Structure 1
Amino acid sequence: MCGRPGASWTCWTVWTWTMPTMMPRQVPAVLAEADRILCLAHREPDGDAYGSLLALRWILEAAGKQVVTGIDGPPDWTYRFLPGYQGVRTPDRIQGSFDLVVIVDCSSIDRIGGFQDLEGLKQLPWLVIDHHPTNEQFGTPGLNWVDASCLSTCNLVLQLAEALDRPLSANAKKCLLVGMLTDSLCFRIKGVDQAFMREVMKVMGPDSYDFQYVVSRTLGFITRDELQLQSLLLSRMQLDDGVLWVGMTSDQATGPQGERLKTRGIIQRLAEVDEARVAVLFRETELDDGRTEVKCSLRCDPDLDVSRLALALGGGGHQLAAGCKLAGSLDAVVPEVIARIKDQVLGLPVGGS
């Protein structure tokens, strides 16, 4: 099948493919055969999740596909300037049938939340596109495209567009740039090289959108309430044998209108402190059933690795940035995690340095 009747695009199966090294050979065919596609990203989305999800929408729609995008949970207002942001749906708003599910920037099935429970999706092929080294390969066999050498999933989506010989619209470029910016910490992490910057140049223009506006909206804007939250938490940070950490309760992360306040900038501030070898933000949350869990966001110096600890604790991520969720209160979780960081990440003897 080559798309909807009357669609103005050439059958994908006759194209000449430029196959990225890590792309499974089945990917072009499974995309070609699907008319209606559900594209998903992980809960509590960051810039790479939004960027890869929405860029994929614009790329596939330009190829004549019907695309629905979804994320479980509340949206992050930071990325509301991205084209397609308003159209992202939660599981309860998914209607109709699909031919394919594509999941981007997601290392495990639990991170898509309620979408995993939708009966109509369970029998479909699932294509996973991700760059997390801790990815659990939960897609359909042969359809797990995981390349941990890429700094962002947006880089993989760009490779996909090039492999499909699809021109990038201004909307797609804007979305791809956001993912490249956020996951490279604005080009500051190890791995940013000439090849990466050449891909950044591909999504900069020329003159297709306001590059400076996208950068400033992505990296430079928070609300007054979020700034006050940062000030409160940073005043309470504690340094323990090279581990700089702070804990926050669920009520501290809730704004005056009940909205979830952005905390991404807090962990980055902690990681920038010179004395910190490892930075941790602990966020306590009360679940609907009354239980309490703590989300741990981890960052570390370039010569360390927090991904292995996060994976051992049921989470995942990258060498320098990872996370996990643990059942229990802050009082129970914080000392346990800090002790394991000292032992397994810093290699300190039990009892301190």
Structure 2
Amino acid sequence: MKLSRKEMAELLKGIDGKILITTHKNPDGDAIGSSLGWFSFLKSLGKDVRVVYRDRIPYFFDFLPGINKVEVKEKLDEQYDWVIITDVSEPKRTGFESIPAEKSIVIDHHITAEPFTNFAIVEPNISSTCELSYELMVLIDPEKITYEVALPIYTGIFTDTGGFSYNNTSPRTHEVAAELLKKGVDPYVVRFNLFERNRINRFKLLELVLKTLEFALDGKVAHITVYRKFLEETEAFLEETEGFINYPRSIAGVEVAIFFKEIEKESWKVSLRSKGKINVAEIAKKLGGGGHKMAAGYETKGSLEEVKKNLFKELELAFESLDFEELEMLS
């Protein structure tokens, strides 16, 4: 059941019992920020709350309040009254085979979201799950938005908007950010921790990844690859590839950038970025994933050649459809 902001705020205010908060596999800033923000906020309301992830947290988020409270498990073996899933709509994308909770809530902002939970709020036009979470918190009790809540929420907004530079950044996004600064958030603290603590391993990995740069579809598509052997050779973490996709995306003439990440043998995570003409969310959805018009992804199995073949076929159809639409507009 999809709820309005007011309805969801009332629901969250009233939930009781054992509450689990989780998010998607390989958590990013919005996932971590929203789940930690809700953890601290609900704790301040006197709720019994735990945060459990399937995958470990990237080290550069270790400055966030409550980060030491996050449990990382392969399996959920306790029973909960409620589960709150942030930044992802499908429970299976949390990485857990099952979530033992009587009732479930989704808080998400992906355009491809189709929640299979008891209650959900999904706003694709908002910048991030963190911004949506803030709006709900204001409706519940603005006084409970302390620094411990504000810092992770700001961090999630910052990362999902590319430092307030992506086109999902609205005037309201800046207003929310300003309100969070009033709670004591220091923008430089966020930027320093996320971008100015790089290990040398990251640059060694970047060198190897950029050597894989290739083009497809007459130069309209650029793609890079990270193999497991690269991680072993450089002793880098997969999360240290964050931002690598911006290199192929920045090339003149490229409309879509792709980053193939080898999770394990013949198992891939594929990230897609568009400059606006191609809706990569639609492509990712066809291949089992989702996301936004300009940033999406999916996971798949098979050889890299098979993965590329399937993806390039969908991209070719998308470009052909775009060419047809442009011709229609000219006629």
Q: Calculate the TM-score normalised by the size of structure 1.
A: 0.83
- For residues 152 and 296 of structure 1, do their structure 2 counterparts lie closer, same or farther at Cα, with a shift above 3 Å needed? same
Correspondence 1:214 to 2:190: yes
Q: CA–CA distance in 2 between the matches of 1:254 and 1:166? A: 46
Aligned position for 2:209: 233
Aligned position for 2:154: 177
Q: Is the 8 A contact 1:254 1:260 kept in 2?
A: no
Moved more, 230-239 or 153-162: 230-239
Correspondence 1:317 to 2:291: yes
Aligned position for 2:170: 193
Unaligned runs of 5+ in 2: 324-331
Q: CA–CA distance in 2 between the matches of 1:301 and 1:221? A: 28
Unaligned runs of 5+ in 1: 1-20
Q: Is the 8 A contact 1:247 1:330 kept in 2?
A: no
Correspondence 1:133 to 2:114: no
More strand by share: 2
Aligned position for 1:326: 300
What does the per-residue CA deviation read over 1:70-121, in whole Å, with 9 as the maximum and x for residues that have no partner? 110222112111111122112358565432110000132221112x424x32
- For residues 158 and 139 of structure 1, do their structure 2 counterparts lie closer, same or farther at Cα, with a shift above 3 Å needed? same
Q: Is the 8 A contact 2:223 2:257 kept in 1?
A: yes
Aligned position for 1:282: 260
Q: CA deviation at 1:285?
A: 2.7
Q: Is the 8 A contact 1:306 1:345 kept in 2?
A: no
Q: Is the 8 A contact 1:38 1:67 kept in 2?
A: yes
Aligned position for 2:317: 343
What does the per-residue CA deviation read over 1:30-53, in whole Å, with 9 as the maximum and x for residues that have no partner? 541313211011110110000001
- For residues 173 and 261 of structure 1, do their structure 2 counterparts lie closer, same or farther at Cα, with a shift above 3 Å needed? closer
Moved more, 95-104 or 224-233: 95-104
Identical aligned pairs, as a percentage? 25
SS at match of 2:244: helix
- For residues 187 and 57 of structure 1, do their structure 2 counterparts lie closer, same or farther at Cα, with a shift above 3 Å needed? same
Moved more, 303-312 or 335-344: 335-344
- For residues 235 and 258 of structure 1, do their structure 2 counterparts lie closer, same or farther at Cα, with a shift above 3 Å needed? closer
Write the mapping of 1:295-314 to structure 2, written as runs, cut at 5 A: 295-314=269-288
Correspondence 1:264 to 2:242: yes
SS at match of 1:99: strand
Q: Is the 8 A contact 2:8 2:121 kept in 1?
A: no
Correspondence 1:253 to 2:231: yes
Q: Is the 8 A contact 1:284 1:329 kept in 2?
A: no
Q: Calculate the TM-score normalised by the size of structure 2.
A: 0.89
Q: CA deviation at 1:346?
A: 5.9
Q: CA–CA distance in 2 between the matches of 1:279 and 1:204? A: 34
Aligned position for 2:98: 117
More helix by share: 2
Q: Is the 8 A contact 1:38 1:102 kept in 2?
A: yes
Q: Is the 8 A contact 2:255 2:276 kept in 1?
A: no
